[in-house]
Amino acid sequence: MDNSMKHGLVVSCQAHFDHPLNHSLHIAALAKCAELGGAVGIRADSPEHIREIKKNVNVPVIGINKVLQHGHRFFITPTFEHAKDIVEAGADIVALEATFQNQPDTEALKELIREIKEELNTPVMADISTFEEGVRAWELGADYVGTTLSGYTDISKNRQTPDIELVKALADAGIRTICEGHVSSPEQALAAVEAGAYFVVVGTAITDTVAITKGYTGILHNHGVGSDGDANCMR
C-alpha cells in the first residue's frame, strides 16, 4: 500500500456542463496548482481530463468516470468499462459508487471491485453515504472508503458540512476512511484527520471559482449591496 497520501490533502479538480473551467487544459492547470500547494493527490473525472493532468502532475490521481442518470445525480464509475477507460488514461486509483441506492447487488459490486483490482491492477476507493455501505465496501475488498456521497442518497440526510461522525465511526471500525464532501475550511480538514481520516478530499472550496465567488457576492447581496451573480453552473 502506497502511504504517500496518508494524512494529506487530495484536491478534486472537476467541472461539468457549461462551467467555464470544463476543459482539460483548465482542469490540468488546477491540478498543477494543487500539487504546487502541497496536495498529495488529485481527484478528477473523465479519461480526457485525467490524461491531461497526468502529462504534468506527479502525485497520484484518483480517477472517476461519472455518468449522469436521467437528470438525477451522477453515478460514479458504474461499470468495469468505465473503470478501464480511466485506468488507460492514467488513473492510479479508481473511485466508484458503492451505495445501496446505485449498487444494490452485493455480488455484482464484489465482482466489480475484484475485476478492477485484479485485472486492472488498480486500487479501489468506494464512495459511500452510510456506515453500513462503508462496512460492506470494505468487506468486499475496497482499499479506501470515502464519505463522498453522505447527503446525496435517499438514506443519508442532506447536509452542508463534512460527515465527521461517519469518518470517526468507519475509522474506529478499522476501515481506511477518506473524508470527502462539503469540506470548506482547513480547520474542517484537520478535524477530519483528527477523527481518523486517512486523507481528506476537497473540491468545491478550492477549485470551483464560481462557487467561491458566490460566497462573497451572496453575503454582500444579502446585506443589500451588489449582485449575487447569475451563474447556475453544476459541478
Ligand X SMILES: CC(=O)N[C@H](C=O)[C@@H](O)[C@H](O)[C@H](O)COP(=O)(O)O
CB atoms within 10 A of CB 7: 14
Question: Which of 63, 90 has the CB closer to ligand X?
Answer: 63
- Applying CB under 6 A, the span of 1-9, 101-109, 144-152, 165-173 interacting with ligand X comes to 144-152
19 binds ligand X (CB under 6 A): no
Whole-angstrom CA distances from 144 to 28, 114, 169, 176, 184 are 24, 14, 14, 5, 22
Report which residue's Cβ sits closest to ligand X.
203
235 binds ligand X (CB under 6 A): yes
- Applying CB under 6 A, the span of 1-9, 112-120, 129-137, 146-154 interacting with ligand X comes to 146-154
Site for ligand X in 204-223 (CB under 6 A): 204-205
Query: CA 66, CA 46: separation in Å to the nearest integer?
Result: 7
Q: Which of 5, 11, 14, 189 binds ligand X (CB under 6 A)?
A: 14
Shortest CA distance to 11 belongs to which of 203, 162, 185? 203
Query: Is beta strand 66-68 parallel, antiparallel or unpaired with respect to 74-76?
Result: antiparallel
129 binds ligand X (CB under 6 A): no
147 binds ligand X (CB under 6 A): no
Site for ligand X in 49-78 (CB under 6 A): 64, 74
Shortest CA distance to 206 belongs to which of 15, 34, 42? 34
Question: Which of 90, 162 has the CB closer to ligand X?
Answer: 162
Q: Which of 9, 50, 57, 201 binds ligand X (CB under 6 A)?
A: 201
Q: Which of 112, 171, 183, 197 binds ligand X (CB under 6 A)?
A: 183
Question: Which of 174, 190 has the CB closer to ligand X?
Answer: 190
Give me 231's grid cell.
Answer: 451563474
Query: CA 34, CA 13: separation in Å to the nearest integer?
Result: 9
Q: Which residue has the cell 470527502?
A: 180
